[in-house]
A and B are shown apart, each in its own frame.
Chain A
Amino acid sequence: EPEVTQTPSHQVTQMGQEVILRCVPISNHLYFYWYRQILGQKVEFLVSFYNNEISEKSEIFDDQFSVERPDGSNFTLKIRSTKLEDSAMYFCASRGTGVGTEAFFGQGTRLTVV
C-alpha cells in the first residue's frame, strides 16, 4: 500500500539553527500539507501546497517557515531559525485529485530544539 514517508524520524537541533524536514508524498498525489503537533496538544494545520505554490497557510506559518518541492518526489519544510517552541511532531500529508478525496499522513518527524 502506498504511503507518505518522512525523514528523519527524529531531529535534534540547536536554537537558531535551520532545519529541513523531508517528505515523500504518495506518487500520484498533487496536494501536499504540513501539520505540527506540540506534545499534548492538538494537530495544527501549517500549510497546503498545490501546483508548486502555497494554496493556504495558517497563522502559525510565518516568515520563519517555507516549503518547497525541489524535485518530482520530495516536499520539504524549512524552519530558518529554530526556537524552543518549534519543538513538536511535524506531519506531512498528501492527497490525490477528485472531489472529497482523503489525505494520508506520514509517521512524522519529532523535532527537538535545545
Chain B
Amino acid sequence: DAKTTQPTSMDCAEGRAANLPCNHSTISGNEYVYWYRQIHSQGPQYIIHGLKNNETNEMASLIITEDRKSSTLILPHATLRDTAVYYCIVRVPYNNDMRFGAGTRLTVKP
C-alpha cells in the first residue's frame, strides 16, 4: 500500500471548516483513500473513503486531486467534539491489512 504523509498537528476554530491534507504521491490506480479518526483512546472511527471522485457524507467531504497524489478531508463546521487524531490511509481494497500512520492531531478551539 502507498505511503501517506500528513501534518503532525493542526488547530481549527470552532464553527470553521477544518481542512486536513494528505499526500500520497505513490498511490496506484486501484488504491482507495480512507479517512479514520480516533478520539482519545477510543476505537478508530470510519469517516469517509474514495477512489478518484470527490465524496461527501454526513460527517465530511473528501477532495481527491485529479492526479490522485493528494487529498483533503474537510469537516465543514468543526466542533469541539471533532478534536481527534485523523488518519489518512491508502490501500488496495482486496488487501486485508490496513496500516495506520501517526496521523494529524486536530485540535478544535473555542
Could you tell me which A residues sit within 8 Å of B by CB distance?
Answer: 4, 31, 33, 35, 37, 42-45, 48, 50, 55-56, 58, 89, 91, 93, 99-108, 110
Residue B44, interface by CB 8 Å: yes
With both beta carbons as reference points, the residue of chain A lying nearest to B49 in the complex is identified as A102
Known: A42-B101, A44-B100, A104-B46. A99 touches B38 (CB 8 A): no
Nearest first, the 7 A-B pairs at minimum CB distance are A105-B43, A48-B96, A43-B100, A100-B93, A55-B96, A102-B46, A99-B93
- Residue in B41, B98, B103 whose CB lies within 8 Å of A103: B98
- B: which residues have CB within 8 A of A? 32, 34, 38, 41-46, 49, 51, 87, 93-103
The total number of A-B Cβ pairs within 8 Å is 57
- Assess whether B101 is in contact with A108, with CB atoms less than 8 Å apart: no
B46 closest partner in A (C-beta): A102
Chain B's closest residue to A54 (CB) is: B96
Task: Report how far A42 CA is from B103 CA in the complex, Å.
Answer: 8
Given contacts A42-B102, A100-B32, A102-B34, whether A31 and B41 have CB atoms under 8 Å apart is no
